[in-house]
Structure 1
Amino acid sequence: MNTRYSFIILTYNEEIHLPRLLSSIAGLNAPTFVLDSGSTDNTTAIAEAAGATVLQHPFENHPKQWDFALKNFNVQTPWVICLDADHIVTPELFLLLQNFNEEQHRDINGIYFNRKNFFKGRWIKHGGYYPFYLLKMIRYDVGFSDINENMDHRLVVPGNTIIWKNGHILEENLKENNISFWISKHNKYSDLLAHEEIERMLSLRQQIVKTHFWGSPDERTAWLKQRWWKLPRYLRPALYFTYRIIFKLGVLDGRTGLIFHFMQGFWFRLVVDIKIDELLKQRNNEAK
């Protein structure tokens, strides 16, 4: 059994995704833990058949789900790798993990993986979506989930991190090939994001990750978010969509890519802004 790292995976009705992920990491012989949020399909049976330890926990949001997972599994390895069920570990990343040497990473607390995101079978290569680095491998009991975020889930580690640029995780949610599923999912996400932004306006939420444009990928994201929150609502979705399409060459992603950039970069952000105004109006009416 691998004693260097374990895998933690979040699931909910992932019978079409989980076998792909488990197959891609099977040869690493690492302890695997699955936190499920009430699947009604064969997800948990697939996980258990693969030898994974399975726990159940009701889903509230991704940051809190990761927080529960990191605190409640009996992890015995110094490192954990946190993946979503719709991820796949590429052979290049598999090789990096297979050859991972703890002695060479004594001063490192976190490792960023490079992600390739797919929509309706197409790799979204432009529009700021590649390269895209996610902190996925952390020292256990050192790293933690940022529960000050309501939707954007990220892991946080103090100290040094490194980036593996060549090893990739592939992210492709096959359920999102049905645009109705995508819209329903992002409608729920827009609720979370609108409430979060209202709470930030009221200073009820603070950023844990320090802001630094030239820092780690997450520090740069934190810096950009601060600028985003200051932009005028309704204008910022249009600016962001234009930035992705023109300046980040999203137009080169073809028709499918343009649909993705429009829906994720404009439509979703516009819905969030509309809901923010609705929430502010509701608060004002209740205060009268």
Structure 2
Amino acid sequence: MDRLSVVISAYNEEERLPACLHSVSFADEIIVIDNESSDRTAAIAKRSKAKVYTRPNNLMLNMSKNFGFSKATGDWILNLDADEQVTPDLETEIKGVLANPPKDIVGFAIPRKNIIFGKWMQHTGWYPDYQLRFFRKGKGKFAEQHVHEQIAVEGRVDCLDHALLHENYQSVHQFLHKLFTIYAQNEAENILRQETGNEEKAGLWSPYTFRWQDAVTASFREFAQRFYVQKGYKDGVHGLMLSILMAFYHFVVYTYVWEKEKFVDENRSVLKDSADFEIQKELRYWKLTADIEEEQNGLKKNYLRLKRRVS
């Protein structure tokens, strides 16, 4: 039977880390990368017999995870965050892979059940939320370029059936702090990096030219995508509020880009009518897309498709 190493990167997670550690007690090795926590995170990990390494608290926590991967001695690595737990069904499935490892598979994507504001989000883009977390030692690592990047693996990937439990955002304050203070700035840097095509020049925030249209359309596209296409309306008030919050997140991203462009101004006389047109067009398209998917009558479905095409 192959051996399993679990790698957990944590910062000030004394409340949620115990449940995470307990859920992976079946592993042959547990490695916790403590990112200079000021609470009892490291002590809790040591008490659970985990191997603890301290690394600088960097926004790019993926650097710490790559370090943890290098310290793992198991045949397979399971990469977790401290707010995640392996369910009993997932444990059984992982053990099955370890007992009979597939020769042609180097990694597995695992679905996640995201609990946000106390509710399992079954729509709104948060399920099944596949994450490549389980892979052969030496076959996967992060590129260390983006906060939410996926592990890159060398070889074929498959999917597991059972989900990780992700105790995601528990309060609005936590949501706003992480997305608007941390993630949005990183995302703004990535936009500039993509525009320049040169990471070194991206550090100078040039020559990207801010477009106010991007701030408007990206925000409304995000809302329409989550609420209509990904059926956020089926998640009730949670789906509505989170769709709005995620839309505003994208607006904040472009606001950071605008700031780095020295708050460049434009001809304000063209803003209102153009923005109204873009917003209405975007929302109309995605609303019709959702209506098409829900419509059971074939004739009405074709009518809606035609209406969407000319809208």
Shorter-chain TM-score: which interval? 0.7 to 0.9
Give the TM-score taking structure 2 as reference length: 0.76
Residue number in structure 1 paired with 2:10: 11
- Which of the numbers 98, 110, 134 marks the counterpart of 1:137? 134
Mapping 1:1-288, distance limit 5 Å: 3-26=2-25, 28-60=26-58, 61-71=60-70, 73=71, 75-101=72-98, 103-149=100-146, 151-164=147-160, 166-173=161-168, 176-186=169-179, 187-205=181-199, 232-263=214-245, 265-281=246-262
Q: Deviations over 1:129-172 (max 9, x none)?
A: 212210001111121112232x21321102100001x2110111
Which residue identity lines up with residue 278 of structure 1 in the other structure? E
Which residue identity lines up with residue 172 of structure 1 in the other structure? E
Which ranges in structure 1 are unaligned for 5 or more consecutive residues? 206-230, 284-288
What is the distance in 2 between the residues matched to 1:85 and 1:190?
A: 22
Residues 282 and 257 (structure 1 numbering): CA distance in 2 closer, same or farther, change over 3 Å?
closer
Which ranges in structure 2 are unaligned for 5 or more consecutive residues? 200-212, 265-311
Q: Answer yes or no: is the 8 Å Cα contact 2:5–2:27 preserved in 1.
A: no
Q: Deviations over 1:209-267 (max 9, x none)?
A: xxxxxxxxxxxxxxxxxxxxxx933211111211211122101111123222221x201
Q: Deviations over 1:47-102 (max 9, x none)?
A: 1111100001112213322223223x2x2212110000000111110111222246
Aligned length: 252
Q: Deviations over 1:165-185 (max 9, x none)?
A: x21101113xx4332222122
Q: Answer yes or no: is the 8 Å Cα contact 2:140–2:154 preserved in 1.
A: yes
What is the distance in 2 between the residues matched to 1:113 and 1:81?
A: 10
Query: How large is the RMSD of aligned CA atoms in angstroms?
Result: 2.3
Shift of 1:103: 4.5
Aligned-residue sequence identity (percent) comes to 27
Shift of 1:282: 7.1
What is the distance in 2 between the residues matched to 1:22 and 1:274?
A: 39
Task: Report which of the two has the higher share of strand.
Answer: 1
SS at match of 2:24: helix
Q: Answer yes or no: is the 8 Å Cα contact 2:4–2:98 preserved in 1.
A: no
Residues 183 and 115 (structure 1 numbering): CA distance in 2 closer, same or farther, change over 3 Å?
same
What is the distance in 2 between the residues matched to 1:282 and 1:236?
A: 19
Shift of 1:30: 2.0
Q: Answer yes or no: is the 8 Å Cα contact 1:7–1:31 preserved in 2.
A: yes
Shift of 1:39: 1.1
Shift of 1:192: 1.0
Residues 102 and 94 (structure 1 numbering): CA distance in 2 closer, same or farther, change over 3 Å?
closer
What is the distance in 2 between the residues matched to 1:171 and 1:29?
A: 19
Q: Answer yes or no: is the 8 Å Cα contact 1:10–1:34 preserved in 2.
A: yes
Give the TM-score taking structure 1 as reference length: 0.81
Q: Answer yes or no: is the 8 Å Cα contact 1:119–1:260 preserved in 2.
A: no
What is the distance in 2 between the residues matched to 1:8 and 1:179?
A: 28
Shift of 1:3: 4.8
What is the distance in 2 between the residues matched to 1:65 and 1:269?
A: 27
What is the distance in 2 between the residues matched to 1:29 and 1:243?
A: 39
What is the distance in 2 between the residues matched to 1:66 and 1:21?
A: 16
What is the distance in 2 between the residues matched to 1:178 and 1:274?
A: 24
What is the distance in 2 between the residues matched to 1:248 and 1:178?
A: 23
Larger RCO of the pair (alpha carbons < 8 Å, separation 6+): 1
What is the distance in 2 between the residues matched to 1:48 and 1:135?
A: 27
Q: Answer yes or no: is the 8 Å Cα contact 2:227–2:239 preserved in 1.
A: no
Greater Rg by CA: 2
